[in-house]
Structure 1
Amino acid sequence: MTDSQPRMLANRLRRNERRLKPWRLQREISCYRVYDRDIPEIPLQVDRYGDALHVATMLRPDEEERAESTPWLEELLEAAADALGVAEGDLFLKHRRRQQGRDQYSRFGSQAATRVVAEDGLRFEVNLSDYLDTGLFLDHRRLRREVRAQAAGAAVLNLFAYTGSFSVFAAAGGARSTMSVDLSNTYLDWAGRNLALNRESIPLPEDAPEGTPPGDLAHHVLVRADVLRWLDDAPAEGWDMVIVDPPSFSNSKAMNDVLDIQRDHPALLSAAMRTLRPGGVLYFSTNRRGFRPDAGMGEFAAVEEITGRTVDLDFERHRPHRAWRLRHR
């Protein structure tokens, strides 16, 4: 590290913060990416969650050894906190490496630095300390907004639901029901807390029994299951909207199979399309690097890539995902 790198990082963070300020104030955004490997010699991702910073290193193995044996990273973190006016205790560091299977979602700490943050008037619990990811994928902000806008009156199926943010947005958009399917009890419990945080923003469905109290969540169901196996017996044409946002790779001990989204997405999406009613829409997103959609998808669905409209201003430098909308032909 050169002596100038902390100063370079601080200057870039201040510049990015000034550039994003009008956009985030207009949109009332409090959680956003402020730096994403802008300077090649400083391979960090810096996300702001209100008054806290979540910093992830993007280091090669040889760089990790250097970072651990020198004050390089510590000095960069100090510069970042100072530039953005964040207290030392509100800065959280993760080391983002190529993950194997369930490692991406495994718990590796117990500090329990949880916060409740806001997005588009809804509230979500994030954990800044104990997992590689925080519980709210910021790059899906626009796609969540689209789901909310299209959800009125719909039965919504959320596969690989994680902490349920898509389900919350669908419910707040007037979905008559949501079903969130995930293999992890930890994340389903988290999804339940996110739904509960937003009771006042979730309207009752039109067919709710008379006398149902406001904020009742009975129509928003959490299901623990291996999605690949669950789809084998899922009702045909049972939902108006299906959301498929799987991990790139998963070999959880609780799964019967190993999921490789590059290899398995045609079969996965074909099975998911069978659950979709005529006239419905399926949203598929993946953050797999170098992902190549199979040309055969067109045999069972009308496929439209929508990545461009799902990437917000703070993620334009390095697009972290691709997204598609599928409909029955």
Structure 2
Amino acid sequence: MAQSVEKFLSLKNRLEKVYRHLSKGARRQGISCYRIYDHDLPEAPFIVEVYEDKLYVSEYKRRHNLGDEEHEEWLAECLRIMSEVTGIAPQNIYTKLRQRKEGRGGQYQKVAEDKNEFVVSEGGLKFIVNLSDYLDTGLFLDHRITRQMVREQSSGKRVLNLFCYTGSFSVYAAAGGASEVVSVDLSKTYLAWVEKNMALNFPGEKKHKVIHADVLQYLKELPAGSFDLIVMDPPTFSNSKRMEDILDIQRDHVSLVNDCLKALTQNGLLYFSTNYTKFILEKDKIHSSQIKDITRQTTPFDFAGKLKRQCFQITK
């Protein structure tokens, strides 16, 4: 038990240190949703995020050599420590067990039916998050800065959001004064979520539309010069039965990016992001002379040193 006590003490000390530092940065920037812990200690493999007055705790599945009861006791003590450090009540802590795998390929997988939806704010905008029912919460916190960049670039532009998930980029584009916003995804569940997020921020807005489609096929059929700005944050891998083909981002990114560039107007912008940690951009095959790696520039304070994605701004 002495070793266990030591491990709990390590977790408490680590959480106190990072929470003190990160909560101060969040307050200073007026941010209410942020990550405080990401597998900092091998013996405590969690992601821990603050969503205003709630805490999202995602435990990575692993071989821990504990029986079910022992694991429950261990988890309960970890959660008690998190509650004590953050001051967030135990009933406002949402836990989830996740498989360790690359990227956001499983983002459409439902894991529960609790319907724990509530609204949070970011950048003066509102977003519906769900901390219990899906593999992810509905708001990727690592793209906070990228969303703001899109907002600043959207005035008077026709904006396309591909693999749009819950449409946070679409909301930011609309807030930036886009003349048209189109959100494309293969999941009807998430497209409905996009529409709810839009209605929450812009009741009666007519400049936004959702399209239920396989992005790979949709891009092939899109007329040249249809959009001024495109956002594309695809899963690393997808073999959805609803797709005509399998998506492998390393293999397919060149054709995806080039199809986006074809769909853009001259000097149009593509924001392309991937969570594949071994990703290598094949610049020489991409039809653009202006490719900027903006990964560092778009890394928020709560992801410094731990960001597992790359982000590029590509100009036609």
Flag whether TM exceeds 0.5 (same fold).
yes
1:304 matched residue in structure 2: 292
1:134 matched residue in structure 2: 137
Question: Equivalents in 2 of 1:301, 1:275: separation in Å?
Answer: 17
Shift of 1:299: 4.1
Question: Equivalents in 2 of 1:230, 1:277: separation in Å?
Answer: 17
Please provide the CA RMSD for this pair: 1.7
Question: Equivalents in 2 of 1:87, 1:229: separation in Å?
Answer: 47
Shift of 1:301: 4.8
2:194 matched residue in structure 1: 191
1:212 matched residue in structure 2: none
Contact 1:116/1:123, CA 8 A, preserved across alignment: yes
Contact 1:164/1:191, CA 8 A, preserved across alignment: yes
1:45 matched residue in structure 2: 47
Contact 1:67/1:73, CA 8 A, preserved across alignment: no
1:24 matched residue in structure 2: 26
Offset from partner CA, 1:126-147 (integer Å, 9 cap, x none): 0000001000000000000110
Question: Equivalents in 1 of 2:67, 2:193: separation in Å?
Answer: 34
Go from structure 1 to structure 2 and tell me whether the alpha carbon gap of 1:67 and 1:135 turns closer, same or farther (over 3 Å shift).
farther
Q: TM-score, normalised by structure 2?
A: 0.93
1:106 matched residue in structure 2: 109
Question: Equivalents in 1 of 2:108, 2:8: separation in Å?
Answer: 31
Q: Secondary structure at the match of 2:19?
A: helix
Go from structure 1 to structure 2 and tell me whether the alpha carbon gap of 1:69 and 1:2 turns closer, same or farther (over 3 Å shift).
same
Contact 2:61/2:100, CA 8 A, preserved across alignment: no
Shift of 1:298: 4.0
Q: TM-score, normalised by structure 1?
A: 0.90
Contact 1:11/1:83, CA 8 A, preserved across alignment: no
Whether 1:231 and 2:233 are equivalent positions in the alignment is no
Q: Which runs of 5+ in 1 are unaligned?
A: 200-214
2:248 matched residue in structure 1: 260
Offset from partner CA, 1:11-38 (integer Å, 9 cap, x none): 2222222212332112211100011122
2:66 matched residue in structure 1: 66
Offset from partner CA, 1:152-179 (integer Å, 9 cap, x none): 1111000000000000001001111100
State the aligned residue count. 311
Offset from partner CA, 1:184-205 (integer Å, 9 cap, x none): 1100000000001111xxxxxx
Question: Equivalents in 1 of 2:18, 2:199: separation in Å?
Answer: 34
Question: Equivalents in 1 of 2:239, 2:67: separation in Å?
Answer: 30
AA aligned opposite 2:28: Q
Go from structure 1 to structure 2 and tell me whether the alpha carbon gap of 1:171 and 1:72 turns closer, same or farther (over 3 Å shift).
same
Question: Equivalents in 1 of 2:192, 2:83: separation in Å?
Answer: 32
Whether 1:315 and 2:303 are equivalent positions in the alignment is yes
2:9 matched residue in structure 1: 7
Q: Which runs of 5+ in 2 are unaligned?
A: none
Go from structure 1 to structure 2 and tell me whether the alpha carbon gap of 1:279 and 1:56 turns closer, same or farther (over 3 Å shift).
same
Question: Equivalents in 1 of 2:138, 2:168: separation in Å?
Answer: 9
Shift of 1:103: 3.5
Counting aligned pairs with the same residue, the percent is 43
